[in-house]
Structure 1
Amino acid sequence: MSELATLARPYAAAVFKRSKETGTTEQWSKSLAFMSAVLKDKEISVVVDNPKVSKDRLSALMLDVCQGQVDEEGANFLKLLVQNNRLGLAPTISELFEAYKAENEGYVDVEVTTAYAFSKEEKQRFNSTLEKTLSKKVHMNVTVDKSLIGGVLVRAGDRVIDGSVKGQLQQLAKRL
């Protein structure tokens, strides 16, 4: 992943800079997410990974699939990725773009895994606590995983807060 991120970072930074200049951050976000979703499709990935498919045919295919979902700049960006043999980086570029966007807008996307579903009040209190802890506005995505036994597991970027019973038991097992 770090190798992909290293290759994708200049593209993501350039796209983010351009989106800020033109005020099209949301459009770019949607376009990159769509490109990423298309490339995750197995049938498309087989064609993309096939060395016998010419760059022109691949560009035409991708533009046809993405028609109506990307604007002219997005189409040019897609062509650039194809010409530079970097089309496979689109999902990573999309992730990095979203990270730049979050940093710029002063929020952080947080993945919260909990053993039991939050009530509305608990979710609001937990959200407030996370905002104080991380010193940023928080966008929470909550999933339930009964294997945690109890507590929560929080992932905010590269930061992980493990307050689950399962995590505590694993720590105890390591110490023993």
Structure 2
Amino acid sequence: MSLRGASADALAALTTELESVLSGAGSSASTVGDELFSVAATLRSEGALRRFATDGSIPAEAKAGLVQQVFAGKVDGGTLGVLTKAVSSRWTAARDLADTLEHLGAVAVVRSAGQDGGRLSDELFAFAQVVKANPELRDALSDPARSIQDKSSLLHGLLDGKALPATVTLAVQSLSGTHRTVGAALNEYQKIAAEVHGQGVATVRVARDLSDAERGRLEQALSTQYGRPVHLNLVVDPSVLGGIRVEIGDDVIDGTVSSRLDDARRRLVG
């Protein structure tokens, strides 16, 4: 998540606050995540509340008091603690508050997956690929004439019993419209999942599926090169012909046969 100035400082402080809430007893990560998503949506829809909560001229105590009145008894104590600290912080732009709460909601949902963090990342990536490859599904999820409830029911029908509860929650949250597309939201959530577990994310394109041993060697090589664990998103793409193409952050390592053939063609033409 990219924020500037005071908003970046607030995000850092709130991330620490969330970690404290989730590491303590009494607050479920999945509940906190769901509630932070809901609060973010409320702030986006209620302009007066959003402006009050982000107005730097209003004392922090007054903003915290209003939040307590509006949300006390409606959300978990841990969620309320994060929200109270959020409205007491300074923000570079008013929209940053809701964006940050949604981001923290995603972090909490990722935490709720526990030791299944790797599976969660794989499921988010796989579902993003399904949406990308299926125009009818993509259109159904982006159709403004269909209600969010209708789209959510569609996702539950596709994913319930087949994916982790955290995956389903994040897939449904991708419908909120705060990202450019559902696919963009799913990609962002996968990045968050990797960051929570201290990983990088590498998209690997190959002509054929890799064996477990080959995946292991590639993961180890990339982890050594980048100085931290790297999670692989494997895309089988026959157009690469052979070799591999690795995209990690802004880096591209292209060792595919198709790229070498293209280079050869350019040299011949030149």
Whichever structure has more strand as a proportion of its residues is: 1
- Number of residue equivalences: 152
- C-alpha displacement of 1:127: 1.9
Question: What is the one-letter code of the residue matched to 1:162?
Answer: D
- Of the three residues 229, 242, 257, the one matched with 1:150 is 242
Q: Which residue is 1:138 aligned to?
A: 230
Match of 1:42 in 2: 136
Q: Write the distance in 1 (CA, Å) between the matches of 2:246 and 2:259.
A: 12
Larger radius of gyration between Structure 1 and Structure 2 = 2
Pair 1:14 & 2:108 matched:
no
Is 1:98 aligned to 2:171, yes or no?
Answer: no
Tell me which stretches of 4 or more aligned residues in structure 1 moved more than 4 Å: 9-13, 26-30, 35-38, 63-71, 85-88, 143-147
CA distance in 1, matches of 2:105, 2:263: 46
How far off its partner does 1:142 sit?
3.3
Larger RCO: 1 or 2 (CA < 8 Å, sep 6+) = 1
SS in 2 for 1:150: coil
Are the structure 2 counterparts of residues 131 and 49 from structure 1 closer, same or farther at C-alpha, using a change threshold of 3 Å?
A: same
Please point out which of 125, 134, 147 is paired with 2:217: 125
Q: Which amino acid aligns with 1:141?
A: N
Q: CA, structure 1 residues 165+12, in 2 after alignment: closer, same or farther (shift >3 Å)?
A: farther
CA RMSD, 1 decimal: 4.5
Report the alpha carbon displacement of residue 44 of structure 1 after superposing the two structures with TM. 8.2
TM-score by length of 2: 0.41
The verdict on how the C-alpha distance between 1:91 and 1:163 changes in structure 2, with shifts beyond 3 A counting, is closer
Greater mean deviation of Cα atoms: 89-98 or 160-169: 89-98
2:27 equivalent in structure 1: none
Shift of 1:145: 4.2
- Provide TM-score, normalisation by structure 1: 0.57
C-alpha contact (below 8 Å) 2:202/2:246 kept by paired residues: yes
Secondary structure in 2 matching 1:112: strand
> Percent of aligned positions with the same letter in both sequences?
22
Match for 1:173: what amino acid? R
